[in-house]
Amino acid sequence: MPAVSPPPCAPHGYAYAEMGPASRLAETRLAEECALAIDYNGLNHAVMMVSPTDLEDFILGFSLSNGLVESIEEIYDIALDGAGDARRAEVQVSARAFWTLKRQRRQLAGTSGCGLCGVEALEQALPGLAPLPTRALPPAAHLDDLRARIAEAQQRARGTGALHAALFVDERGELRLCREDIGRHNALDKLIGALAAERLLAHAGFAVVTSRCSLELLHKAVRAGFATLVSLSAPTALTVDWARRHRLNLIHLPHHSAPRVYSPAPSLEEHRP
């Protein structure tokens, strides 16, 4: 029997024309996204633009990383509905978690153009977080060839080139989990949710983000209890300050040089020749 040729274009392919003298026509896959409305105990809380994969992981991680629940035991049920570009998640949570959610909604109520105003909005942007226990940096060997391993794990990004990833490397240095999304915050939320669902300890390994390492990602990492956050892009100055203050190990993995440890702050005395 002759070999079956693959179809000329993968599902969801989009045609495009290259600008230039050749004016070549081709097709490619594009990243999918949808609007996901999240309701807690019947009360609408947020509408997020997300990649329509691993949505239960996202809802678990979103609830944990935003401080809406203290553990997944407070999430009693998740019901997903809808298809295509519009989805809805009905989440049943404990009475304590629902009271916390309603208090946050009252704090964020405002009429400014950005939707956030007053002291409460600043408290949301710069929350008070408990410092983490001091933990050792991961072995340097666990960072060897990490970029190549991440590229191999990002299966969806290879087809579209438009997805961020958040990954978990366990205590043996093995790349255990990978979650992808159009949103960098969403990708980390999906990873946090997957860790909670699989009952894996966040501090037993380290998290990796392929996107810019911003303060919001640091907030999520601290709340999730990661000991170390590794970023493929350089962190902002504020992120480094907060990482040192909250005892989160922060490592930048550049393309062509050795990993750079920003937190804990290095001792210049120890590194002087």
Phi, psi (degrees; rounded to nearest 5) at 205: -135, -145
- Catalytic residue list contains 114: yes
Active-site hit among 114, 117, 178, 213 = 114
Alpha-carbon distance of 236 to 165, in angstroms, equals: 19
Output the CA–CA distances (angstroms, integers) from residue 85 to 10, 79, 96, 145, 256, in the order listed. Answer: 19, 17, 32, 37, 39
Exposure letters 129-154 (e unless 16+ CB within 10 A, then b): eeebeeeebbeeebbeebeebbeebb
Catalytic residues: 114
